[in-house]
Chains A and B, each alone.
Chain A
Amino acid sequence: MPPLSRYMVRLALLHLALGFFFGGLMLAHKAFPIAPWAMRLLPWHIHSLLIGWTIQLAFGVAYWIFPRFALERPGDPRGRAGWAWASLVLLNAGVLCAGPAGAMGWGPGLALGSAMETLGVLAFVVHLWPRVRPAIL
């Protein structure tokens, strides 16, 4: 597993742990309503699990597994790695911005975080698109 994939997968696992924890707090509150503030965690729970865990894990594994340019670019087999690194930064910054902003009800922060997440996805698409090709054996 290349370094970028390791970073993405580990960050995805951290988002999984956090997202599940927030979800557990909210579900426990539904059972015994003693912590009304818990329901404010819903936006953070959603961003953490949809973007931070699901999408980031898929990206991390795709970066690892998708066909490479071993023959055409022997020194840079995965090609345009800068876009993938930018994606890692934008996705995680986006979740860490949108999540707390959503929990606090701060609209501009939520919008900014969501925009960063969108840019992160676009950046990864720029990286990955040329690798959607038959593997050359």
Chain B
Amino acid sequence: MPRLTRWFIRAALAHLIAALLLGALLGGGRVLSLPPILAAATPVYFHLLMLGGVAQFIIGVAWWMFPPLSKERPRGNEALAWAVFFLLNGGLILRAICEPWVAVDPQPIARGGLFLSALALVAAGWIVVGLLWPRVKGR
């Protein structure tokens, strides 16, 4: 398993745990009253789970398993793939901090962080498409 795949999968598992813990907390909010900043964290839960957990796991395995591009560079541009790792995880962490913050107290720094998160996540997704597309082939 290549090193980058290991990083993707470990990060995905960490996101899954974080998402499920947050989900449990939010579920508890149906019985107990939560602080407003936590009550605003439902989108964070979805995205930690589906983007940080599921999608990142898929990306890590696809990077490993898809047909090779060539003998010299079987997986293509590895620097770009590392960029995806940092953009995706950095974007999600920023989102987890800034999204509830903006909802309860929209300070400029929180807004800026949320906007940066949006850019990072879109960039990560589009780079993934660019990296995997040429590897979708017969052999």
Contact = CB atoms under 8 A, between A and B. Distances in A.
Do chains A and B interact in one complex?
yes
Q: How large is the interface on B (under 10, 10 to 19, 20 to 34, 35 or more residues)?
A: 20 to 34
Contact of B111 (A9, A13, A25, A32): A32
Given A23-B121, A27-B121, A16 B129 contact: yes
Interface stretch (B3-11, B50-58, B71-79): B50-58
Nearest to A50: B50
Nearest to B115: A31
A98 to B, nearest CB: 18
Given A21-B122, A49-B50, A13 B114 contact: no
Contacts of A13: 128-129, 132-133, 136
Q: Is the interface of A mostly helix, strand, loop or mixed?
A: helix
Contacts of B117: 27
Interface string B57-83: 010001000010000000000000000
Interface string A10-25: 1001101101110111
A30 B128 contact: no
A30 B99 contact: yes
B126 A30 contact: no
B133 A10 contact: yes
A54 B58 contact: yes
Nearest to A10: B136
Given A20-B122, A54-B54, A30 B114 contact: yes
Contact of B136 (A9, A27, A32, A49): A9
Given A9-B132, A31-B102, 17 more contacts: A1-B67, A1-B137, A13-B128, A13-B132, A14-B129, A16-B125, A16-B128, A23-B122, A24-B121, A25-B118, A30-B102, A30-B114, A31-B98, A31-B112, A32-B111, A54-B50, A57-B58
Closest 10 CB pairs of A and B: A20-B125, A24-B122, A31-B114, A27-B118, A31-B115, A28-B118, A24-B118, A31-B111, A13-B129, A9-B136
